[in-house]
Amino acid sequence: MDWKGRDVISIRDFSKEDIEFVLGVAERLEKELKEKGSLDYARGKILATLFFEPSTRTRLSFESAMHRLGGSVIGFSSTLGTSVMKGENLADTIRTVEQYSDVIVIRHPMEGAARLAAELAEIPVINAGDGSNQHPTQTLLDLYTIRRTFGKIDGLKIGLLGDLKYGRTVHSLAEALAFYDVELYLISPELLRMPKHIVEELRERGVKVHETTNLEGTIPELDVLYVTRIQKERFPDEEEYLKVKGSYQVNCELLKNAREGMKVMHPLPRVDEIHPEVDKSEHALYFRQVFSGIPVRMALLGLTLGVL
């Protein structure tokens, strides 16, 4: 696969070989970065970050990744002060920004916006989240974190907890995990179950899937517990949110029943679903997970720019 000029829009566009290749490049870059501090593969290249929606980790980690590759960054982190406020459409914004940059990273509240941007731009476009649809770079960094921690993905028992209905990270992570020989435990309130079509697809692809509401009983089975926030902003109706708010909290008491070496992950930000006391335990992997964003996004930027 020639990566130069390739868009990164959806985990559905990836094969297992693509995923493994990106993870391998990220691992190489992480080692190089550790040895040299910073790299200069992307010297003279410009990344444009177009964040039509707020974000902390994703935007900063793309910017940090580009700086660590030796490139530079332009962009905006909110539509305030941009021509979008004057009513400019997405197509014109993309056609303008591509004149100033070599690669675009876009986050947009509408589903499919990144795909459309990629069709309009001649330069590579990377999706940093489109509404409740996809967040492929988050999925790749999640897989990278698991592989770096356990040395493998195959054979693991992975629990996905929380908002499995609206959470785009768990949808694409589950789809990507279907490439591997894993057992999945889908733990959520009844109201927030994983969409049926995704569960069916996972089963069709040979994944052993267990659906449950019982976190406590499932904990001892798991190698990884991937926790998600119940996202108030994705609920069409506040009453529905109030019914499930605070359904689960992962704390040290609960983790007493966990296997030794079991790891807790979270795409962050968290609200109250993981107690801060867990941060100091051997189970907490979420800040290491944040770090994984750097090598993985460096790999994606470098590959799509054709400099790696």
Partner 1 sequence: MSELKVEVIPDGTVIDHIPVGKWLKVVEILGLTNPNGGTLLIASNVPSKKLGRKDIVKVEGRYLSEEEVNKIALVAPSATVNIVKDYKIVEKFKVAIPDEIVGILKCPNPNCVSNHEYTKPRFRVESREPLKLRCHYCERTIEWDEILGNL
> According to CB under 8 A, which one of 70, 131, 189, 306 is a site residue for partner 1?
131
**x/- binding map, residues 206-245, to partner 1, per CB under 8 A?**
----------------------------------------
Toward partner 1, which CB reaches closer, 6 or 68? 6
**Given the complex with partner 1, which of 111 and 240 has the nearer CB atom?**
111
Cβ distance to partner 1 smaller for residue 109 or 217: 109
Which one of 127-135, 143-151, 203-211, 223-231 is the stretch in contact with partner 1 (CB under 8 A)?
127-135
Residue 80 identity (one-letter amino acid): L
For partner 1, give the closer residue by CB, 70 or 131.
131
CA-angle at 251, arms to 247 and 253, nearest 5° = 115
Residue with tokens 């994705």: 234
196 contacts partner 1 (rule: CB under 8 A): no
34 is catalytic: no
**Contact positions with partner 1 (CB under 8 A) in 47-106:** 89-91
Instruction: Check if the beta carbon of residue 75 is closer than 8 Å to that of residue 107.
Output: no
Query: From start to end of 203-272, where are the E strands?
Result: 208-212, 224-227, 263-265
What single-letter amino acid sits at 302? Answer: G
Stretch near partner 1 under the rule CB under 8 A, chosen from 114-122, 141-149, 238-246, 287-295: 114-122
Q: Is position 134 an interface residue for partner 1 (rule: CB under 8 A)?
A: yes
Active-site annotation holds for 304 = no
197 touches partner 1 (CB under 8 A): yes
What are the angstrom distances between the C-alpha of 249 and each of 142, 173, 227, 287? 21, 21, 9, 18
197 is known as an active-site residue: no
Active site residue 95: no
| Bridge partner list, 106 | 50, 127
Dihedral, 130, 132, 138, 143 alpha carbons, nearest 10 = -140
Q: Which of 45, 59, 68, 107 is catalytic?
A: 107
DSSP state of 122: S
The Cα–Cα gap between 24 and 151 comes to 12
Closest CA to 156 of 147, 164, 166: 147
Catalytic positions, written as ranges: 57-58, 86, 107, 135
> Which chain residues interact with partner 1 by CB under 8 A?
10, 12, 89-91, 108-113, 115-116, 119, 130-134, 197
